Amino acid sequence: MQTFENLYSRRSVRSYTGEGPGEAQLAEILKSAYAAPVGKAQYQSLHLTVIENKDYLSRWEAAVGEATGNPDAHPFYGAPVMVLVSSVVPAAPLDNVAYSNAAILAEHMSLAAVELNLGSCLIWGAVRVLNTRPDLLADLPIPEGMKPCCGVIVGKTDVEYTLREVAENRIKTDKF
């Protein structure tokens, strides 16, 4: 097991060659999501959409540019694959489980990408924009009643994962 090596090497990759993962690699990334823990084992409350359509990803990026006032925004950094994680999102305050489940799936996929020496980056802001664009949402095969929560871009990269020092005081921690 290389769990700690993967944890201490994982980083957000923002530079891609344009080449996607192979079918076997994509299958492993998806399997890692399927292996993630989900609150009360409500797996049916989640859905993954693998987006490889370059035209669609470009239109989505353009929508982000419009929404942010930055036409040069490229939140997918040239990655050829986006795995969008959607969930049934109940009203607050119960919505935290849906978003937490989605985040856990996304992190599992990111750690799998490290193991496969592929780049990955968690995507949140662009998903927020997607949820404001019914025209873009209508093109995706997302089951009724589900809402996109986050995504993971994946692709081949020239970035190398290296172990990094992790400062133990990086996040304030108290004992009670």
Per DSSP, the residues of 62-84 read HHHHHHHT-TT--TTTT-SEEEE
pTM of the entire predicted model: 0.95
For residues 128 and 5, give the distance between their C-alpha atoms in angstroms, rounded to a whole number: 32
Nearest to residue 155, comparing CAs of 63, 11, 19, 4? Answer: 19
For residues 143 and 171, give the distance between their C-alpha atoms in angstroms, rounded to a whole number: 38
Tell me the C-alpha to C-alpha distance, in Å, between residue 69 and each of 38, 56, 62, 66, 73: 36, 20, 10, 5, 9
Residue 47 neighbours by CB under 8 Å, 6+ apart: 85, 86, 87, 142, 143, 146
CA-only gyration radius of the chain, Å: 17
pLDDT by position in tens, the chain (length 176): 588 999 999 999 999 999 999 999 999 999 999 999 999 999 999 999 999 999 999 999 999 999 999 999 999 999 999 999 999 999 888 889 999 999 999 999 999 999 999 999 999 999 999 999 999 999 999 999 999 999 999 999 999 999 999 998 899 999 99
